[in-house]
């Protein structure tokens, strides 16, 4: 078991653990490498990394605590919250419909009053 260090073209040094495994089919040993991490250029210590590019995976301990993550119970809570919103919007819609009906009745009464006033004004003009 040996630790091998490689530098890539950008000058970053990486550490690998290399062991030899015997291949019975070909009757010879083969090197098997395991990625350990980056080598700190100042101290020479190996800094453990995953070896994968991009964003690191989410921490399972933080699951359900963030705004973007949702556990199984969070879906239920979200569903209940949205259900309450829908119910309150339905109540608000019913109130608005009642007010609309009340206003339409009031409007029709005002139209009748206006027609009566017009009739009276036109009769006064004729005199």
| Tens digit of pLDDT at every position of the chain (127 positions) | 677 777 777 888 888 888 889 999 999 999 888 888 888 888 888 888 876 777 777 777 765 555 555 556 688 888 999 999 999 999 999 999 999 999 999 999 999 999 999 999 988 887 7
Q: Which two tokens stand for residue 100?
A: 């609309």
Q: What is the pLDDT of residue 3?
A: 73
> Rounded to whole angstroms, how far apart are CA atoms 85 and 69?
21
pLDDT at residue 84, rounded to an integer: 95
* Domain ranges, ordered by start, for the chain: 1-50, 70-127
- Give the pLDDT score at 58: 77
pLDDT score recorded for residue 25: 92
Q: Which two tokens stand for residue 24?
A: 């019975």
Coil, strand, or helix at residue 2? strand
* Gap between the Cα atoms of 11 and 8, Å rounded: 5
pLDDT at 1 (0 to 100)? 62
Distance (Å, whole) CA 60 – CA 48: 19
pTM of this structure: 0.39
d(CA 46, CA 39): 5
Predicted confidence at residue 86, as pLDDT, reads: 96
């Amino acid at each position: 078991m040996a630790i091998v260090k490689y530098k890539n073209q950008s000058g970053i040094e990486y550490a690998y653990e290399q062991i030899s495994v015997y291949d019975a089919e070909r009757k010879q040993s083969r090197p098997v490498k395991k990625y350990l991490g980056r080598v700190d250029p100042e101290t020479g210590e190996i800094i453990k990394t995953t070896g994968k590019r991009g964003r690191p995976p989410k921490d399972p301990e933080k699951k359900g605590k963030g705004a973007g993550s949702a556990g199984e119970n969070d879906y239920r809570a979200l569903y209940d919250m949205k259900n309450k919103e829908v119910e309150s919007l339905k109540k608000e819609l019913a109130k608005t419909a009642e007010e609309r009906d009340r206003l339409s009745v009031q409007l029709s009464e005002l139209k009748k009053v206006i027609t009566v006033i017009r009739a009276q004004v036109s009769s006064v003009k004729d005199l």
